[in-house]
């Protein structure tokens, strides 16, 4: 069994933003020399997501508006008890649960086994500091 | 290490529908001859889900109503920017994020290691065309 | 390839509660002797979740309030068709979809490869009876 572990570093200047990390994951798959296996990609932070969807700016704008409706940013300690700890990012912990922590992608013939429009995104909900994504590959 | 890759094809005539694909996944597990391992099942389309829950028609009706409330179908470009691209399926991209892209199920003793009521469903949110599900199994 | 299968048993006296199961998963990883691999942790019940987030009581209080808003408990058969079957837990099937069924965590150097605040929780939405969580580890 082969394995590869890689950490990607992201610096998002916005509070909420989505970044296409597919090329970085493809590089890791190539470097692993795994032909058949599984590739886990997860946010290493609990106010961020990794998800697969479309690389279409209008859709990303829709997601941001929708997530803001489902879990509004509100630094006050009234709406969110979490913000009584001195944090202001309770909303980000909620948004992350909607969009998910991780994806697992099949590797077939040495490539990410994607459907026609699948792209991997890092979703930041509490940006303006350095964050990391973990890529873990196992297979043969 | 053994591996198996299988693509299931689905043709859903409704816009939104859930299909129990557990027997197809069980067939793939049997054909893989994997005794101990992991089985990834994912939608290959970004307006569809694979999820595990109960095979109960009333619950599925509840899910559809709930998803329609959380992310209503609206082909107009006013509610969803994504629909300015000529698509009408922005709602389906949102519903899919709630229900998830994929499940990973343990294989133990050559069987899907399920709890008492777990069944695997394909969730279609933009049907009336051919879609695919990927089953990837690794183990020994 | 090595593998380990472990079932954790939980008895939650509340209807909705979150329990940090990280130490139990770490025990399983140690017992597996896997140095590089993947660890799947999933609820074996369809009204429960396994998720990764912060071990902060205020946040957990926020999650409960938010999930109750998104999918209110209502045993009547009017809101949820599922409750026409004699069940009263349709809301729990919805809450579980928001929080997710499972997590997959990388194992690196014999340890769960966590970011700074990641902890694994069992999320119960229909408690007061015995439930199980499955831990499946594969790797080398």
> How far apart, in whole angstroms, are the C-alpha atoms of residue C95 and residue C9?
21
- Give pLDDT, residue A66: 98
Whether chain B has a CB inside 8 Å of the CB on C6: the answer is no
> How far apart, in whole angstroms, are the C-alpha atoms of residue C95 and residue C90?
9
Bridge partners for B43 per DSSP: B133
Average pLDDT, chain C: 97
Looking at CA atoms only, how far is residue A22 from chain C in angstroms? 19
> How far apart, in whole angstroms, are the C-alpha atoms of residue C65 and residue B95?
22
> How far apart, in whole angstroms, are the C-alpha atoms of residue A22 and residue A122?
9
Half-sphere exposure of B35 toward its Cβ, with a 13 Å CA cutoff? 6
Residues 6+ apart with CB under 8 A from A58: B80, B81, B82, B83, B84, B85, B90
Q: In what order do the strands lie in the sheet with C130-139?
A: C2-11, C130-139, C36-43, C102-108, C111-112
How big, in percent rounded to 5, are the helix, strand and coil portions of chain B? 30, 40, 35
- Give pLDDT, residue B15: 97
Of the candidates C10, C77, C79, C76, which has an alpha carbon nearest to the alpha carbon of residue C47? Answer: C10
Contact C95, C127 (CB under 8 A): no
Identify the chains in contact with B, defined as 3+ C-beta pairs within 8 A.
Answer: A, C
Report how far apart the first and last C-alpha atoms of chain C are (Å, whole number).
5
- Give pLDDT, residue A56: 97
The strand ranges marked E within C31-115 are 36-43, 48-53, 102-108, 111-112
Inter-chain CB proximity B101 and A52 less than 8 Å: yes
Looking at CA atoms only, how far is residue A116 from chain C in angstroms? 25
Instruction: Report pTM.
Output: 0.98
Residues from chain A that touch C118, judged by Cβ atoms under 8 A, are: 44, 46
- Give pLDDT, residue A88: 96
Residues from chain A that touch B7, judged by Cβ atoms under 8 A, are: none
**ipTM of the complex as predicted:** 0.97
Between the CA of residue B20 and those of B29, B51, B68, B110, what are the distances in Å? 16, 10, 21, 20
Of the candidates C58, C44, C31, C43, which has an alpha carbon nearest to the alpha carbon of residue C121? Answer: C43
What residue has token string 């933009």? B126
The pLDDT of A30-39, averaged and rounded, is 98
Among C1, C51, C56, beta carbon nearest to A97: C51
Nearest residue in chain A measured CA to CA from C99: A97
Tokens of B57: 């028609």
Cβ count near B130 (within 10 Å): 10
The pLDDT of B13-35, averaged and rounded, is 98
* Mutation to test the A interface, candidates C18, C55, C58, most A Cβ within 10 Å: C58
Q: What percent of chain B has pLDDT over 70?
A: 100
Tens-digit pLDDT profile for residues B53-103: 999 999 999 999 999 999 999 999 999 999 999 999 999 999 999 999 999
- Give pLDDT, residue A107: 98
- Residue by residue, what is the 3-state secondary structure of B110-137? CEECCCCCCEEEEEECCCCCEEEEEEEE
The pLDDT of A33-44, averaged and rounded, is 98
Of the candidates B40, A104, A53, A114, which has an alpha carbon nearest to the alpha carbon of residue C106? Answer: A104
- Give pLDDT, residue B116: 92
Looking at CA atoms only, how far is residue C110 from chain B in angstroms? 18
Q: Is the dihedral of CA B28, B31, B32, B35 positive or negative?
A: positive
Q: Is the dihedral of CA C64, C99, C119, C29 positive or negative?
A: positive
The band of A80, judged by pLDDT with boundaries at 50, 70 and 90, is very high
- Three-class secondary structure of residue A132 per DSSP: strand
Tokens of C61: 């209080």
Of the candidates A8, A24, A4, which has an alpha carbon nearest to the alpha carbon of residue A138? Answer: A4
- Give pLDDT, residue A45: 98
Contact A124, A8 (CB under 8 A): no
Contact B135, B38 (CB under 8 A): no
The pLDDT of B111-118, averaged and rounded, is 97
Whether chain B has a CB inside 8 Å of the CB on A63: the answer is yes
Residue ranges of the alpha helices (H) in A17-89?
Answer: 22-32, 57-70
């Amino acid at each position: 069994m082969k394995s590869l572990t890689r950490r990607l570093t992201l610096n998002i200047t916005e509070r909420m933003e989505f970044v296409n990390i597919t090329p970085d994951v493809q590089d890791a798959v190539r470097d692993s020399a795994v032909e058949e296996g599984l590739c886990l990609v997860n946010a290493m932070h609990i106010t961020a997501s990794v998800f697969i969807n479309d690389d279409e700016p209008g859709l990303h704008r829709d997601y941001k508006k929708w997530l803001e409706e489902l879990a509004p940013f509100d630094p006050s300690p009234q709406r969110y008890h979490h913000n009584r700890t001195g944090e202001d990012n309770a909303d980000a912990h909620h948004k992350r649960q909607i969009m998910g922590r991780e994806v697992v992608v099949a590797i077939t013939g040495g490539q990410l086994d994607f459907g026609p429009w699948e792209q991997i995104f890092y979703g930041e909900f509490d940006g303006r500091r350095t964050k990391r994504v973990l890529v873990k590959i196992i297979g043969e």
